[in-house]
Amino acid sequence: MTSSFLIWAAFFPRITLLLCYWTDNLPTNTTDHGFDVLAAIFAPYSLIGWWAYNDHGLTEWAILFAVLQIFAIARTARTVQNQTSKTGSQK
């Protein structure tokens, strides 16, 4: 797993994964293909973090992608909360 892959994946995780699938350049991993597809759709930071952990061990890359996934979950929860509060105020 190269540093350039990890840097691009930090900013554009789904696009990076999609391009790697298309060009058959995925990092070597032991996860099932079905799990790869589902994780790439719903939790791309977790998938890339898992790959980084399996490839390099517990390094700054694995920690970075764990933190990014936590921020992504928090952002999604805040968006859902804002949408429900807007819907409730329209009634």
pTM: 0.65
Query: Does the structure show a pLDDT above 70 at 59?
Result: yes
Q: Give the model's pLDDT for residue 17.
A: 85
For the chain, what percentages of helix, strand and coil (3-state, to nearest 5) are there? Answer: 80, 0, 20
Q: Give the model's pLDDT for residue 85.
A: 67
77 vs 45 pLDDT, higher one: 45
Q: What is the mean pLDDT of the segment spanning 57-65? A: 80
Query: Does the structure show a pLDDT above 70 at 42?
Result: yes
* Domain coordinates in residue numbering, the chain: 3-90
Residue 68 has a CB neighbour count (10 Å cut-off) of: 19
Per-residue tokens: 70? 């936590």
